[in-house]
Amino acid sequence: MDFFRYIGPGLLVTVGFIDPGNWASNFGAGSSFGYSLLWVVTISTVMLVILQHNVAHLGIVTGLCLSEAATKYTPKWVSKPILGTAVLASISTSLAEILGSAIALQMLFSIPIPIGSVLTVIFIGIMLFTNTYKKIERFIIAFVSIIGLSFIYELFLVDIDWPAAVKSWVVPSVPEGSMIMIMSILGAVVMPHNLFLHSEIIQSHQYNKRSDTVISKALKYEFFDTLFSMIVGWAINSAMIILAVATFYKEGINVNELQQAKEMLVPLLGNNAGVVFAVALLFAGISSSITSGMAAGTIFSGIFGESYNIRDIHTKVGIGLSFVISLIIIFLISNPFKGLLISQMVLSIQLPFTVFLQIYLTSSKKVMGKYANGKSLKVLLYLIAGFVTFLNIYLFISLA
């Protein structure tokens, strides 16, 4: 079937929002607020499907990633600050991914977090600098499958109040003191670097150089790839919160570090649960580190009007900046779990800038031609951008 030829880019993006930062946000949300924040995963995923599908259109139609298009079609005083903050967001992402892998290595082998972080960067660097897109895609699909199976296995071991969970998926509520957690979940699901990454992966196929028939088919099948992949991510993120509710919230325990979560799961669910948790976290950290590195290379090279190319100096510098600065921060922070949560909040704060940039580009007939956003889609996209901006303003007011 033609559909299966288009599967891959969406799953590369999916792994970005089932990363260690999500683990921290989801376990923190479930253990502190029960099922009540499941709606954030649902609304974030709906927003993500719309945004990722829209940015993929940019790559298919123009043959440019979001960073390249911004450099080409917007003034420097607009593109430089936004892309600069996007680089900072990619560093924040890499911080969470590397830190998550290091925490998993500490759980499994008692390796100190700084050493585990260095080992992770070395391993990911080798993978990025020696593999093609297709090889990396296959690694990602395998990792996502293992993570999903791990959490499905975990859910069979606990008692779940499904009526309460279903209600919380669709009925919003904002418990007192939950705003930072809501922003962390939002930033962990709708991630700026994934918008850049998706447009890069799609544009690498160079559909724009083929006929309108090929472009139309790519646009159609890309939507199904995105929808399928995002539903997988929604299910896994939801499973994390539900698992946290069943094992921690019901016991009156707040999770404030991932190591603590693993130790609690052992007596509550049996010895196998702790090992499964740590292995799944390791795979999540490794796979998401790959995509965060690719995103950093994409954003940085796009500033110079170039596509992601692992042989190009700008791509290498982008990846290097992301990993090296992340390592330096990891060596300096004292609370890894809090670092994970803050990293996700940073992503949420940068998100409106990237989203408004994306809407401008995909709505422009100069950029997209006849494939530019229609009026109804533009309204929907601006509503999403406005909602994210409102949440950020609300966050700052609540912290004041």
State the pLDDT confidence band at 181, using cuts at 50, 70 and 90. Answer: confident
Cα Dmax for the chain: 60
What per-residue string of b and e applies to 6-28 under the rule 16 or more CB within 10 Å gives b?
A: bbbbbbbbbbbbbbbbbbbbbbb
* Top-confidence residue, 232 or 324: 324
- d(C-alpha 94, C-alpha 86), whole Å: 12
Give the separation between CA 46 and CA 93, rounded to whole angstroms.
21
Give the CATH number of the domain where residue 194 resides. Answer: 1.10.4160.10
Given a cut of 70, is residue 53 above it in pLDDT? yes
Note whether residue 253 is domain-resident.
yes
Instruction: Count CA atoms closer than 13 A to 67's CA, side-chain side.
Output: 35
Question: pLDDT by residue (tens digit) across 212-268?
Answer: 666 666 666 677 777 887 888 888 889 889 988 988 888 888 877 777 777 666 666
Residue 98: name the closest of 115, 82, 75, 81 by CA.
115
Q: How many residues would you count in the chain?
A: 400
Q: Is residue 30 part of a domain?
A: yes
Question: How far apart are the C-alpha atoms of 2 and 7, rounded to whole Å?
Answer: 10
Give the separation between CA 200 and CA 3, rounded to whole angstroms.
20
First to last CA, the chain: 55
What average pLDDT does range 19-43 have in this prediction? Answer: 88
The pLDDT of residue 75: 93
- Decide: 292 and 311 in contact? Cβ < 8 Å: no
Closest CA to 304 of 57, 132, 133, 70: 70
pLDDT class for 377, splitting at 50, 70, 90?
very high
Phi-psi region of 110 (alpha: psi -120 to 50; beta: other; left: phi over 0): left
Torsion 80-81-82-88 (CA) sign: positive
Enclosing domain of residue 195: 2-334
Residues 6+ apart with CB under 8 A from 191: 16, 17, 89, 93, 347, 351
- pLDDT score at 291: 84
CA 197 – CA 12 distance, rounded (Å): 9
Confidence band of 183 (pLDDT split at 50, 70, 90): confident
Does residue 198 surpass a pLDDT of 90?
Answer: no
CA distance 61 to 43: 27
Q: Which run of H or of E encompasses 133?
A: helix 133-155
Distance CA 254, CA 218 (A): 46
271 part of a folded domain: yes
**How much is the pLDDT for 166?**
92
Domain count, the chain: 1
Sign for the pseudo-dihedral over CA of 220, 223, 228, 231: negative
Closest listed residue to residue 244, CA positions, set 85, 17, 22:
22
**Mean pLDDT value of segment 264-278:** 72
**Domain-embedded: residue 84:** yes
Strand extents, DSSP E, the chain: none
Query: 367 with 69: CB under 8 angstroms?
Result: yes
| Residue 364 forms part of a structural domain | no
Residue 287 domain-assigned?
Answer: yes
Residue at token pair 């007192």? 176
pTM: 0.83
Does a structural domain hold residue 376?
A: no
The answer to whether residue 343 sits within a structural domain is: no
What was the pLDDT predicted at 263? 65
Report how far apart, in Å, the C-alpha atoms of 159 and of each of 24, 64, 166, 246 are.
Answer: 22, 48, 15, 6
CB-facing half-sphere around the CA of 214: CA atoms within 13 A:
10
